[in-house]
Structure 1
Amino acid sequence: MSRGLRTSGLLLSTATWYSLFLFAAAAPAVLGPLFLNRYGAADGSLFALATAGVAFVTRPIGALLFGRLGDTVSRRSALLSSLALGGTSIVLIGALPTERTLGPLAPMLLVGLQLVHGLAIGGIWSGMALSLTEGAPPLRRGLIGGFVQGGVSCGAILANVAVFATTSAFDTATFEDWGWRLPFLAGGVLLVVAVLVIAVRPRGEPLPPQPEPESGRRSGPVRTVFRRPGRLLLAAGLLFSANAAFYVTITGTVEYGVTELRLARADLVGGAFIAAVVGVLGSVGGGALADRLGRRPVVILGAVAGAVWAFPFFWLVNTAAIELVTFSMAVSGLASALGYGAVAAYLTELFGQRSRYTGTALAYHLGAALAGGAAQLAVLELPTYAESGVSWFLIGASALTVLCAIGLPETKPVSRADATFARLREGASPRSSPPGSSPRR
């Protein structure tokens, strides 16, 4: 069972994050020249990166919409509908006429579709994480969650490889005509495959929420989550360090290396590829460590490692020696992945079953929107602040994550019996509760 869950988690997560990171990977080389050419090459690339970041705005909104659907109807319905929306939006981008054909309407449509895609991502991650971690053995939930998180790095790998392959394989005329569309259309295919994987899996999701043991009307999932705003904000803060370091490492370093250090994009993409591979291993390892040491210690470990590496990271990058740049990116990728690998299980266990989809989705995407959006802004300022400002930004994000983790309880089940007792305390019977329900301490 665990092997099937690990494989499903990695495949689903890879397809999802490929579609998201494709925007960032394609922004300077593809979206800027084809949709924002009127601003000039340099400004067009910057505007394209900004366009790639607009999805952060709608991800929390999607978390609310699909979270409520997942908590009141079913996990499967919310996940399938968000996957369908995400696949449709990315295919439409692949079919979108460029600025040369539509003029100023083209970038407006591009931004609109990116916003829709962000809305879909807001529902996908939580549905994906819950469908796997709730069905995992209680003492292996961290490892399963680590495979879900490892798909983020896999998606980044595929996105960068797809963009680099298409820009290298076609001449300029062919690429601008139709070659650039292939990675986006492939993203739609991947999400269709993800839908099929979900559709053919046995229906192992939890039963509908059981009635509250107390008399009175039960609150909806959104209201339940917002009754504890402190826990929601602290849970969102668990994402700060990993998200900030990931976006600066994978997106920012490549653009900084090309524009300021005059390094070959192919070499830098190779470095990002290695960093992402290390990130997959780090996420899985972080999830496994979370099953042994606990969720909170591993999150803190990853944040502290990221803070310690913040200044050495840029010192090595600024040598402009591609071997040192690659090494620096790989260490940063490992540090950010360790704590990130523990987050899926941690968030799942921080919220009760009746509001878990809403709570995990909103916490995850609020953290991503704040940290990832700030990192995107930092990326735009990398040429000016590479030696100081961005390093302090990463240290600040790490400090916030440590403080948030300290403010949250440890949720790791001590034993299978401990997990069963926790389910009884939540008012559900052992037979009707999902095997992955978590202790609430």
Structure 2
Amino acid sequence: MPNSHSPAPTPAPTPPVSAAPSPSPRPVSMPRLATASLAGTAIEFYDFFVYGTAAALVLGPLFFPTFSPVAGTLAAFGTFAVGFLSRPLGSALFGHIGDRYGRRPVMFASLMLTGFATVAVGCVPSYATLGVAAPVLLLVLRFLQGLGLGGEWGGAVLLTAEHAPERRRGLWASFPQVGPAVGFLLANGVMLALSAALTESQFRDWGWRVPFWAAGLLAVGGLLLRASLHETPQFAELAASGRQATAPLAEVARGHWRLVLLTAGALAVGYAVFYTVSTWALAYGTERLGVSRTSMLVCIMAAVAVKGVVTPFAAMLGDRYGRRPLCLAGCAASAVWMFPMVALLHTGEPLLMFLGFLGALLAFITMFAVVAAYLPELYEPRVRCTGAAVGYNLAGVLGGALTPIVATALSGGSGPPWGVAAYLTLVALVSLGCFALLPETLPGRAVAPKREGAAAV
């Protein structure tokens, strides 16, 4: 990553996230707003995660039956990766809407798109019925899932962060970051219940489809919950003065490209760690170690539950000590923990696997609890929805899309998959370097001069 760049035109001075008075006729309830944001991200990540669990457990033999077991798993993870590839596109599409027309419309449109695509996945016939058209449909629908999720994060985070008081912005903005944990637990809890209640043949025939169909009801509930939300005061002021970006993606590409690349590289390790635990480890444990599906899901879900509980507490530390120090600490902990995590996973013992997963996810959330406040603070308000969301979701391509595929390819042989640990350690070190090049945004704790496009706070 280059350390220098051509000087970009200095943007017009803009107020901090919390400086503009709210034009809303009624005061905003931060608990209600945070709950609505959390619920929406939980529903959309439920949609996204339920596909990952199905890819690890059943999609390979159902949609790629002519492949060997390992090749079928790789192919299923390939369709899983498509959702990450489309997320930056969703960020650009919905970011344009968010920066041009408001944060609030993004939260509705993205939820509807993701809900539709997820329900449709549950309706796709298997390869035995449709032939090659079946995996092609999976790819298209997974693409649409990622497109919707790429817009969800930016809308939910900005609606919360731009309403929040400055001294508690990290805490309130962290609530959408709890949503992925809730969505993961909900998705895997449904899968676990169906797996325990149905026979193997019933689960493969139709049981795995039920969580996808349930996404329709969840989407309707999320839309109703978000119906009463107000636009953010930050965007309302921009709109009132006619200062919205007309082409936010072009502005980001022209003036903030280095910031986007640094944030994407910095966050890549979080995606790599999370999807190693939640997706690759599930397939590795059931297929290579012979651990039951139920045991693997319980170990992973328990670790994710603790991660969700810890999230707001880590965010409060970010409000007190700064965003960047926690991000650096999380990267360093990830680099140190990857080899112990792989060793504990390879034992096949549930308690030891849980401890391995827990250590990895605590390192992960040390970073990701604060990025919901950190990323918006790095970008000026007129391009904030596009810049923050593109950087966040581009990191998903770098760290999440390929990690299950690379980890599966590196985990051959009878011994512990040390290649996986080495790969994750390398990603953590790269991310650590990227975070080191980013500035602090918490007032009074600046550690570097304001960089290209960074917002004043």
Whether these two folds match at TM > 0.5 is yes
CA contact (8 A) 1:71 1:356 kept: yes
- The answer to whether the 8 A contact 2:44-2:183 is kept is yes
Equivalent in 92, 97, 121 of residue 69 of structure 1: 97
Q: Which residue of 1 aligns with 2:363?
A: 335
Q: Which residue does 1:140 correspond to in 2?
A: 168
Structure 2 vs 1, CA of residues 326 and 358 (structure 1 numbering), >3 Å: closer, same or farther? Answer: same
Report if aligned partners of 2:33, 2:229 keep a CA contact under 8 Å in 1. Answer: no
- Counterpart of 2:435 in structure 1 is 405
In structure 2, list runs of 5 or more residues that go unmatched: 1-28
Aligned residue identity for 2:325: P
Taking a change above 3 Å as real, the CA distance of residues 218 and 310 of structure 1, as seen in their structure-2 partners, is closer
Could you say which residue in structure 1 is the equivalent of 2:53? 25
Greater helix fraction, Structure 1 or Structure 2: 1
Paired residue for 1:381?
409
Could you say which residue in structure 2 is the equivalent of 1:224?
251
1:347 alignment counterpart: 375
Describe the SS at the equivalent of 1:290.
helix
After TM superposition, the score normalised by the length of structure 1 is: 0.89
**Structure 1 stretches lacking a partner, 5+ long:** 427-437
Matched, 1:440 2:456: yes
| Alignment match, 1:118 | 146
In structure 2, relative to structure 1, the CA distance for the partners of 1:392 and 1:201 (3 Å cut) is same
Corresponding residue for residue 420 of structure 2:
390
1:63-116 superposed Cα distances (whole Å, 9 cap, x missing partner): 111111111112112221121111111111122222222122111111111111
What is the rounded CA distance, in whole Å, between the counterparts of 1:240 and 1:79 in structure 2? 24
Opposite residue 391 of structure 1, the aligned amino acid is: A
Q: CA deviation at 1:204?
A: 4.3
Q: Conserved in 1, the CA contact under 8 Å of 2:104 and 2:230?
A: no
Q: Look up the SS of the partner of 1:200 in the other structure.
A: coil
Of 105, 121, 127, the residue aligned with 1:93 is: 121
When residues 311 and 118 of structure 1 are mapped into structure 2, their CA distance, relative to the original with a 3 A threshold, is same
Verify the 8 A CA contact 1:89 1:116 in the aligned structure 2.
yes
The answer to whether the Cα contact below 8 Å between 2:314 and 2:370 also exists between their aligned partners in 1 is: yes
Kept in 1, the 8 Å contact 2:100–2:245? The answer is no
Does the CA-based 8 Å contact 1:351-1:360 persist in structure 2?
Answer: yes
Cα 1:218–1:92 shift into 2, 3 Å: closer
Shift of 1:30: 2.7
Q: Structure 1 residue 137: deviation in Å?
A: 1.1
Hey, what does 1:292 align to over in structure 2?
A: 320
**Would you say the 8 A contact 1:9–1:147 is kept in 2?**
yes
1:325 Cα deviation after fit: 1.1
Aligned residue identity for 1:183: P
Q: Which moved more, 1:388-397 or 1:64-73?
A: 388-397
Q: Quick check: 220-229 or 303-312, which moved more? A: 220-229
Cross-structure match for 1:209: 238
Is contact 1:271-1:330 (8 Å) kept?
no
Write the letter of the residue equivalent to 1:332: A
Task: Please report how far the alpha carbon of residue 410 of structure 1 lies from its aligned counterpart in structure 2 after TM superposition.
Answer: 0.9
Matched, 1:253 2:269: no
What letter corresponds to residue 312 of structure 1 in structure 2? P
Residue of structure 2 aligned with 1:200, choices 228, 231, 235:
228
Contact 2:77-2:405 at 8 Å conserved across structures: no
2:298 corresponds to = 270
Output the CA distance in 2 between the equivalents of 1:161 and 1:397.
30
Deviation of the 1:318 alpha carbon? 2.0
Question: How far apart are 1:213 and its partner, in Å?
Answer: 11
Q: Aligned pair in 2 of structure 1 residues 278, 367: CA closer, same or farther (>3 Å)?
A: same
Taking the TM superposition and a 5 Å limit, the aligned residue runs for 1:156-171 are 156-171=184-199
Structure 1 residues 234, 378: closer, same or farther in 2, change over 3 A? same
- Superposed displacement of residue 40, structure 1: 4.6
| Cα distance in 1 for residues equivalent to 2:68 and 2:284 | 18
Q: Determine if contact 2:44/2:115 at 8 Å carries over to the other structure.
A: no
Give yes or no for the alignment of 1:59 onto 2:75. Answer: no
Aligned match of 2:107? 79
Local SS of the residue matching 1:39? coil
Q: Higher mean Cα deviation, 76-85 or 165-174?
A: 165-174
Q: Which moved more, 1:218-227 or 1:262-271?
A: 218-227
- Partner residue of 2:20? none
1:105 matched to 2:105? The reply is: no
Q: Is the 8 A contact 2:45 2:183 kept in 1?
A: yes
Counterpart amino acid of 1:70? Answer: G
